[in-house]
Copies of this chain bind each other. A is one copy, B any other.
């Protein structure tokens, strides 16, 4: 690859997570679908928060978690996103900076008028997470936030599927894809959530056909993308996209689909699964770190599995251990 200042530039929602434990009845009683993300407005956010018990506040955001993971491996990531001029925005910006990520948009001039985004995350006893997001400041992300030079100076531009839920972000993503491709760089897409795939099916299919080189998604997201319920059809669908695609399968590991070759990689061992928030984000982190550092696809997927295992062993979606050290120790 041509040299670049950054391994990965991610475009994503800048979110602080508010994480509480609930039981399954709470999820059902509040009309949520376990394991998915729903968008809520400020009033709904307030009403739901009042029903929650003890919560902790830590930085999150899907693509932001991914770049924090890449930095923890020793990579050089950047992040494009919008925070508000409030203390939660400061917390997000602080955490992304101390994680070792270049934050484009974290300066005063770019602070949004709306309050910073929060994601209310309910972790059930099975360690599954169900999310309700108030996007706030994130909805102000637009084409002006996309610095073509920055994208040209990164091996991979990484985009959250979640971005399709913020109207102005569509234009931003189109601009980003063009800038990355014009510079001969790769574009990666995270499918984010099965309902996101449903809500923006045509847009995502077109983006994949036109611009995407790497796809990340879990089994349910890929099933929704190809409107299938079988693994064989899902793999066949990914093959036809002519991309390098990773489908994560929870405890069963992941499949890497690369043209005619499909490789299965097992999940890394975890002593106790505490909170699955960020598992997919961190799989992408490990894979992209490996991908931008010349590893073969099995090595990339093993790094992804290692990072996912770390993140599900504790509450919160940012690594607590240094992933670089864990990878060394595991000999990957």
Listed in ascending order, the chain A residues whose CB lies under 8 Å from chain B are 18, 46, 49-50, 52-58, 86-88, 90-91, 94-95, 98-99, 115-116, 118, 318
Contacts and interface: CB of A to CB of B under 8 A. Distances in A.
Contact of A95 (B55, B91, B99, B115): B55
Q: What is the interface of chain A mostly: helix, strand, loop, or mixed?
A: mixed
Given A57-B57, A86-B86, 12 more contacts: A46-B90, A49-B94, A50-B94, A52-B94, A54-B99, A55-B94, A56-B57, A86-B87, A87-B87, A87-B88, A87-B115, A88-B88
B55 A57 contact: no
A115 B87 CA distance: 9
A318 to B, nearest CB: 8
Nearest to A94: B49
A14 to B, nearest CB: 14
Closest 10 CB pairs of A and B: A57-B57, A53-B98, A87-B88, A54-B98, A56-B58, A49-B94, A57-B91, A86-B86, A54-B95, A56-B56
Contacts of A50: 94
A58 B99 CA distance: 20
Contacts of A56: 56-58
Given A57-B58, A91-B57, A52 B98 contact: yes
Nearest to A97: B50
A198 to B, nearest CB: 31
A133 to B, nearest CB: 15
A297 to B, nearest CB: 31
Contacts of A318: 54
Contacts of A55: 91, 94-95
Given A49-B94, A94-B49, A87 B118 contact: yes
11 contacts: A46-B90, A52-B98, A53-B98, A54-B99, A55-B95, A56-B57, A57-B58, A57-B91, A87-B87, A87-B88, A87-B118
Nearest to A20: B98
Contacts of A53: 98
Contacts of A99: 54
Nearest to A98: B53
Contacts of A115: 87
A32 B235 CA distance: 59
Contacts of A88: 87-88
A50 B49 CA distance: 29
A116 B46 CA distance: 18
B90 A49 contact: yes
Contacts of A57: 56-58, 91
Contacts of A91: 18, 55, 57
Contacts of A86: 86-87
A94 B87 CA distance: 17
A239 to B, nearest CB: 40
A15 to B, nearest CB: 13
Nearest to A54: B98
A310 to B, nearest CB: 14
